[in-house]
A = this chain, B = another copy of it.
């Protein structure tokens, strides 16, 4: 399970979410790799290849049992655990992320929100009081928080990331549109919104 490629992991999450919906109705039903692939927009071959990294999960000619495959994927991805998460940057995007119910469903609990803006410190977002970034390192260290979300402006992101790492954070989900320069042991996933829209504009321009 060590060398599973990133795109496979991303697809496992798609499978997981699709199976989750199906399991709500009937966890005992079977699903073929063709049907599972169709549900998430990939080929059956891709489904089988992705799942083969984790040993035999289905039966030849029978397919996968929806509920049990969902549970296996949940454990493989790590969605069955609960993680405490700190979020930095209480602007609109940060607020949206705090309210995004899906994260809680996936075992991610945003438990602390930090901002440097005096107008935001002390405000409540979905039951969480915004605290000053001056207290950030101490609180993260004391709570032993390992995951952080960065939703600050580009020019502040590197400094915030370094402070988070110093406080013990091991994984950063970065929404600032700038690459972070950190120790290679730190897991960084960058979510770059303008990259998606750039691709869209480029493709639209070709036909207009």
Report A14-42 CB contacts with B as 1/0, cut-off 8 Å. 10110000000000000000000001110
Tally of chain A residues near chain B (CB < 8 A): 59
Q: Say whether A146 contacts B195, CB under 8 Å.
A: no
Q: Say whether B96 contacts A195, CB under 8 Å.
A: no
**What is the CB-to-nearest-CB distance from A9 to chain B, in angstroms, rounded to a whole number?**
5
Q: With A93-B96, A95-B96, A179-B40 in contact, do A79 and B193 touch (Cβ < 8 Å)?
A: no
A118 in the interface (beta carbon within 8 A):
no
A134 in the interface (beta carbon within 8 A):
no
The residue on B at minimum CB distance from A101 is B153
Q: Say whether A197 contacts B146, CB under 8 Å.
A: no
Give every chain B residue within 8 A of A100 (Cβ-Cβ): 92-93, 193
A117 in the interface (beta carbon within 8 A):
no
Copies in the complex: 2
Decide if the interface of chain A is mainly helix, strand, loop or mixed.
helix
What CA separation (Å) do A15 and B52 show in the bound complex?
A: 37
**What is the CB-to-nearest-CB distance from A37 to chain B, in angstroms, rounded to a whole number?**
11
Q: Say whether A17 contacts B201, CB under 8 Å.
A: no
Q: With A10-B199, A199-B6, A200-B187 in contact, do A193 and B95 touch (Cβ < 8 Å)?
A: no
What CA separation (Å) do A137 and B2 show in the bound complex?
A: 49
Contact of A146 among B6, B16, B208 (CB under 8 A): B208
Q: Say whether B198 contacts A173, CB under 8 Å.
A: no
Report A168-208 CB contacts with B as 1/0, cut-off 8 Å. 00110100010100000001010111111111111111111
A122 in the interface (beta carbon within 8 A):
no
The residue on B at minimum CB distance from A185 is B207
5 contacts between A and B (CB under 8 A): A13-B194, A77-B202, A103-B194, A106-B194, A187-B200
| Chain A residues with a Cβ under 8 A of chain B | 2, 6, 9-10, 12-14, 16-17, 39-41, 76-79, 81, 83, 91-93, 95-100, 102-103, 106-108, 146-147, 170-171, 173, 177, 179, 187, 189, 191-208
